[in-house]
A = this chain, B = another copy of it.
Amino acid sequence: MRKLDNTAVGTRQRILEVAGEVFAETGFKGATVREICKRADVNVAAINYYFGDKEGLYVAVLKYWKTVAFEKYPADQGVDEGDPPEKRLRVFIQSILWRILDAGRASMLPKLVAREFIEPTSALDIWVDEAIRPMFELLSGIVEGLLGKGTPEATVRMCCTSVVGQCLYFVYARPVMKRLFGQGSFEKRDIEIIADHITAFSLHAIRGLAAGKKTGKKKGGTR
């Protein structure tokens, strides 16, 4: 069996690096400590030695990759309070898409989090508090800026879910898109096109809702 340069990076971290991929590919139950250890080229006992048990490893993995991802893409990146909400929305959408579609070192993280969405563990609470809630409040501010001050909170919230929903669709729908359109991965250029679209789509929508409200219309469309 091929021996990687084990001295270059510690055993503990090597496990964290590969465990993220394995958990993302096959889920917590599906992942085996033997597979993880084989890929990390360490002894099977290493996981219990460093993390107590498999579950301890799992939470360590999520913590580890969250740190990595947020160092690369800070939540407030490039956002200037003074910028007009239109630009801030564009930056917000762009940064979400980057995090989701970037095929870098942390490319398995969205999949890990998506699994948490479906089958939550204690890790989701942390993720919501430290990652999602701040993002949501940032977006709420932007959307409120577009809708106008006195807008009901429910309306703001709905618009936020509309924006985020459009973005997240590209995480879990990738296998579907591959089967539907033949496109399963996204280049840098693709991501910009998508960001442009979602921004334009959402801006028209939000402005339309704001205008409809001012003129006293109750609903934007049919019924």
- Chain A residues with a Cβ under 8 A of chain B: 25-27, 29-30, 86-87, 89-90, 111, 114-120, 124-125, 128, 132-133, 136, 157-159, 161-162, 164-170, 172-173, 175-177, 179-181, 194, 196-209, 212, 219-223
**Interface contact B172-A169, CB-CB below 8 Å:** no
Which secondary structure characterizes the binding site on chain A? helix
Closest residue of chain B to A220, judged by CB? B200
Please name all residues of chain B whose beta carbon is closer than 8 Å to the beta carbon of A177 when the two chains form the complex: 161
**Interface contact A132-B165, CB-CB below 8 Å:** no
With A117-B173, A208-B207: A198-B162 Cβ-Cβ less than 8 Å? yes
Please name all residues of chain B whose beta carbon is closer than 8 Å to the beta carbon of A114 when the two chains form the complex: 117-118, 172
With A132-B180, A166-B166, A208-B208: A219-B201 Cβ-Cβ less than 8 Å? no
Closest residue of chain B to A88, judged by CB? B222
Expressed in whole angstroms, the minimum distance between the Cβ of A166 and any Cβ of chain B is 4
CA distance A222 to B133 in the complex (A): 26
